[in-house]
A and B are shown apart, each in its own frame.
Chain A
């Protein structure tokens, strides 16, 4: 898989909007509607920048990271959390080291694209966000 960006969000509107935005910028985007979906792409060989929503039904963003790490799928990825929360989440304890950045919803196009480009180039240069 050639794509380097994946958005994981249960909100279809956000996934679709992101798809349109990235398409306009000429960036291919993988959209995952759940943590399970995300793990599927990773197991299929996806490596890149993962924009992970925190609040999702069944398996939330933190549960998904725990699974990614547990299954040895973290290496070669940068995880950026998309959060609407105003305060730290107890569930993130012990998982912060796997998160490179946090972007608070609602985010501006500029800040999102800037982040993605920065972390994408970081990956291409061989480093990781962790």
Chain B
């Protein structure tokens, strides 16, 4: 540009010199040629002017007229101080004076105000011209408007500053190379991340830097291959992660530098140190996995959805509850999780965590909310196998650190059995209460019967002694028999009720079985003799059982008196004990009336009598029930065997042989305590 300006100036100076000489030589003889020359000057777009040594304008072109806002005629003969403000005029005169003092070429920049009012940056190129004697005749000046160029230069400079500042301020290490892979720029962060030694940077060669960076890589070969590949495939973008030997992880991003028309100028490489982020991600991933593992093994059926309601966790318990395995639901949305419960996809509790309670209560009347967690019970008819089930469910939103909802979790518990157990508990409590009332009544009745029975028992024998009529005596005997029945019933009641409570450890004593049997046989000795019965006792004298002596005696006496009662005359009663590993079984067998299958099932029930019309006198119907309670209190078993009516009956019971029963009872005591 400057060269071309000087070329114009040289041409113009030559022309002006020629002009001056021609004017002098030819004068007005060749006006046509002068006109041509003026036209030529006028075609020059830059303002051109000339002055004489008295600083007066002696000529100019059209562009100068436009610039100055005066016509050439108005301009000629005037000096700068007649045309410009004083400050500008002084400057122009000073420059002109300098040029005349040092003839030749002059070039300087300056701001000048154009006639249109704009202030523009201009380069003034001026030169003196001589006459044929070499004396300076004046000067010629050309003004070159460089305002646009200056602005463009400033814009470029600004862009450069912007880019370099961005590079330096970037948290990424940035390396820019040209089309020959030679380094154009490296920012401070790149040097920090890579730890590049200063001497490598001073050399400003790319190969040593690349070689150094390669040594940092955990897999240098792969790194080099990728770099080579990208230099060979100039248009490709790439983003990947680099693992360094020192444990760092870098996020590498590279783009080609392309002009709008696709010309390749080089490549920009960006490296970000993501070591901490990776570690945090890894930790988050591990934490997340731990949470998923915990959810997996939660005993309650649990699942988790993301913000798009897609299932991201589905634990074993819910697999078991719903029959849907993970593969069938993971990653799926559209309320897939509700199908096992309602047979169709529909919103369930987990979908309602953000809803107002009054909206949810339509579907879940028992809904409650604590904080952001919902709790409810739901009845699901025909769940899976067609059962009606009760579920307890809780759902809560999952929030990120900013409190934004990123998903939700729901746990479901099948409480059907619990509900049924609750109902059963109520029923049993009611039954227990009823039983307690009955027992209290029985105790009271037993007690209250004793007082009125006392005078009866005292007086009836007296009455009998005082009458002589046999018929009346027979009636009194009948009364006595019935009074004795009532007395026996009251005593059995008392015994039965006393057996309700479990045995305390200190109540156990070691009882020799055969002695207890003989004691009971002695009580029935009269009846045995009357009926001509014989007893065969096969019990090892060494067998000792831990038992409450009174209860064991009651048990044996009941069984023996039953056997005596139901034996035919001259019958045999067999009392046998068998030793097992930990228990002793005792059987009492008679040759009496026997029992049917129905009787076998019921004879241990309270007040059950094989004689359906309950005509059997002298028995309470509680004897075998008492036996059952006693055996149960001793943690044994009791049952009846009979081949049928007329085939005799065998009652068998088991007891612990040694101290097991006592230990068992002690354990119970500890547990209860």
Encode B434-465 as 1/0 by CB contact (under 8 A) with A: 00000000010011001111111111011001
- Contact between B487 and A106 (Cβ–Cβ < 8 Å)? yes
**B447: nearest chain-A partner, CB-CB:** A84
Partner of B457, one of A11, A84, A87, A106: A106
- Contact between A107 and B454 (Cβ–Cβ < 8 Å)? yes
User: Is residue B498 within 8 Å, beta carbon to beta carbon, of the partner chain?
Assistant: yes
Assembly CA distance A106 to B452 (angstroms): 8
Contacts of A86 in B (CB 8 A): 443, 446-447, 494, 498
Encode B488-515 as 1/0 by CB contact (under 8 A) with A: 0000001000100000000000000000
Assembly CA distance A78 to B447 (angstroms): 26
Assembly CA distance A16 to B494 (angstroms): 27
Partner of A24, one of B443, B451, B456, B462: B462
Partner of B458, one of A18, A87, A104: A18
User: Is residue A13 within 8 Å, beta carbon to beta carbon, of the partner chain?
Assistant: yes
Assembly CA distance A16 to B458 (angstroms): 10
- Contact between A20 and B459 (Cβ–Cβ < 8 Å)? yes
Residues of chain A in range 85-115 having any CB-CB distance to chain B below 8 Å: 85-87, 104-109, 112
- Contact between A21 and B458 (Cβ–Cβ < 8 Å)? yes
A16 → chain B closest CB, angstroms: 7
Partner of A13, one of B452, B462, B498: B452
Contacts of A16 in B (CB 8 A): 455
Assembly CA distance A86 to B447 (angstroms): 8
Assembly CA distance A13 to B458 (angstroms): 11
Assembly CA distance A109 to B462 (angstroms): 9
Interface residues on A, range: 20 to 34
User: Is residue A1 within 8 Å, beta carbon to beta carbon, of the partner chain?
Assistant: no
- Contact between B455 and A105 (Cβ–Cβ < 8 Å)? no
Contacts of B451 in A (CB 8 A): 11, 14, 84, 105-106
- Contact between B459 and A21 (Cβ–Cβ < 8 Å)? yes
Chain B contact surface mostly: helix
- Contact between B487 and A85 (Cβ–Cβ < 8 Å)? no
- Contact between A108 and B457 (Cβ–Cβ < 8 Å)? yes
Contacts of A105 in B (CB 8 A): 450-451, 453-454
Assembly CA distance A16 to B454 (angstroms): 11
Interface residues on B, range: 10 to 19
Assembly CA distance A112 to B455 (angstroms): 12
Encode B159-175 as 1/0 by CB contact (under 8 A) with A: 00000000000000000
Assembly CA distance A84 to B453 (angstroms): 11
Contacts of B446 in A (CB 8 A): 86
Residues of chain B in range 533-549 having any CB-CB distance to chain A below 8 Å: none
Encode A18-49 as 1/0 by CB contact (under 8 A) with B: 10110010000000000000000000000000
With A86-B446, A86-B494, A86-B498 as known contacts, state yes or no: A17 contacts B461, CB within 8 Å.
Answer: no
Contacts of B498 in A (CB 8 A): 86-87
Partner of B455, one of A14, A24, A85: A14
A-B pairs, top 3 by smallest CB distance, nearest first, are A17-B455, A106-B453, A84-B450
Q: A105-B454, A109-B458 are in contact. List 14 more A-B contacts (CB 8 A).
A: A11-B451, A13-B455, A14-B451, A20-B459, A24-B465, A84-B450, A86-B494, A104-B450, A106-B451, A106-B456, A106-B487, A108-B457, A109-B457, A109-B462
Q: Which of A's residues lie within 8 Å of B, judged by CB?
A: 11, 13-14, 16-18, 20-21, 24, 84-87, 104-109, 112
Chain A to chain B contacts (Cβ below 8 Å), 28 pairs:
A11-B455, A13-B455, A14-B451, A14-B458, A16-B455, A17-B458, A17-B459, A20-B459, A21-B459, A84-B450, A84-B451, A85-B447, A86-B446, A86-B447, A86-B494, A86-B498, A87-B498, A105-B451, A105-B454, A106-B450, A106-B453, A106-B454, A106-B457, A106-B487, A107-B457, A108-B457, A109-B458, A109-B462
